[in-house]
A = this chain, B = another copy of it.
Amino acid sequence: MHIEQSAIAQWLSHAAAAARAASDELAHMPVAQRNEGLHEAAAELRAQSDVIVAANAVDIEAFDAAGGTAAFRDRLLLTPARVEAMAVGLEEIAELPDPLERTLSEWTRPNGLVIRRVAQPLGVIGMIYESRPNVGADAAGICLKSGNAVILRGGSDSIFSARAIHAAFTEGLRRAGIPETMVQIPPATDRAFVAAMLAASGMIDLIIPRGGRTLVERVQAEARVPVLAHAEGLCHTYIHTAADPEMARQVLTNGKMRRTGVCGATETLLIDSDIAPGLLPLLINDLAKLGCEFRADVGARAIVSSLPAAKDADFDTEWLAPMLSVAVVDDVDAALDHIARHGSSHTEAIVTEDAEIAARFLNRSTSAVTMWNASTQFCDGGEFGFGAEIGIATGRVHARGPVGVEQLTTYRYQVIGTGQVRP
């Protein structure tokens, strides 16, 4: 489907203005009403579950006709249970503390001015995501709670699902007296909508891409609007000489194999040369029993000669699969060097009983999240206690790590005087 460039620009400009007005209203709407919107949207998702599943069947039919992988099909598929999970997700967001009515800090100046830093919604979020239709409902819920409006641009393969979810969500908003323009979807699946959103500086305040590396990197490269994202999660687990061997086995196995397709999965094992001869064979054996394969450097292959040799590029590869890169290092600084060269600033873990070494690792790692004696797979909004998350950020500005409702707020200052003028 092709749409005139000018029609796209016009749609976006209207949509963004309506979104801005909705966000301005949400910014000072009592949290009870925002929560009511979440509950009503959840109720509508349940009430329209059959409609949503039927719309999804149209997407699935088109997908099957085009042919695609089973994994992609599973991401696209909605079932009554999955719709129910979306509804429960919204109800859980309603239970979260209000991220808006917060005074972040307050102080008084010598001249008597009281300065308050208070929370405020970011404004208009542009969410660009791929096939999972539930991302739309989750993102809309997180934005509603945090007082943001959102323009949802899902994948073209899930357009019927996205429209059905959007219709149910906005019906819930209407019932709660919240502007429906709080959540909008483009009227067509033309890719030019993505380009227009990425260029919408001043209209969209923040773009959040959610999907594969190709999508995220394209967004990061093209956007003229700030982007919160991670292109990849190339996470390391480093086993230090003073590690408890049993803990190392458990933390590594969990970090690598609990789920191999998530961004917090360990992709590279770094192990100290002192401890490797005794421990590495056990670690390899644990993982191999679970179906993991390996790419190992010279040091590791000197200990377990059956390991396949790693190419240099392997240490820059986010496997998202039962595959582990393995390198033997001399000490914590060598591990930090390896991570600085190959990592993606997502999540790293150290296993050690030596508090001083752990402190060095925790203080010198610049990644968004650094764990001591815990699995890299704990990098998750739910596990951090944020409730729902809209993504994980590895950039430097605004928010880092799991992005929940609080991270979708910014702040402004209120200054209270008694007639002060500046000398």
Contact = CB atoms under 8 A, between A and B. Distances in A.
A109 interface: yes
Contacts of A258: 421-422
Interface string A213-228: 0000000110110101
A51 B241 CA distance: 54
Copy total for this chain: 2
A255 to B, nearest CB: 8
Contact of A122 (B109, B201, B396): B396
Given A385-B115, A414-B372, A419-B244, A397 B397 contact: yes
Contacts of A410: 396-398, 400
A401 interface: yes
A367 interface: yes
A396 B113 contact: no
Interface stretch (A53-61, A159-167, A307-315, A374-382): A374-382
Contacts of A383: 109, 113, 422
Interface in A299-340: 340
B206 A372 contact: no
A113 to B, nearest CB: 6
Given A206-B396, A396-B410, A422 B371 contact: no
Interface string A86-112: 000000000000000000000101000
Contacts of A385: 107, 109, 115
A372 B201 contact: no
A27 interface: yes
A371 B416 CA distance: 6
Contact of A374 (B250, B368, B417): B417
A411 interface: yes
Nearest to A371: B415
Interface string A382-423: 011100000000011110110000000011111111111110
Given A201-B221, A373-B420, 4 more contacts: A226-B395, A250-B421, A374-B421, A375-B420
Which A-B residue pairs are the 7 nearest by beta carbons?
A: A374-B417, A254-B421, A247-B419, A205-B396, A373-B417, A377-B422, A397-B398
Interface of A: 24, 27-28, 107, 109, 113, 115, 120, 122-123, 201, 205-206, 220-221, 223-224, 226, 228, 244, 247, 250-251, 253-255, 258, 340, 358, 362-375, 377-378, 380, 383-385, 395-398, 400-401, 410-422
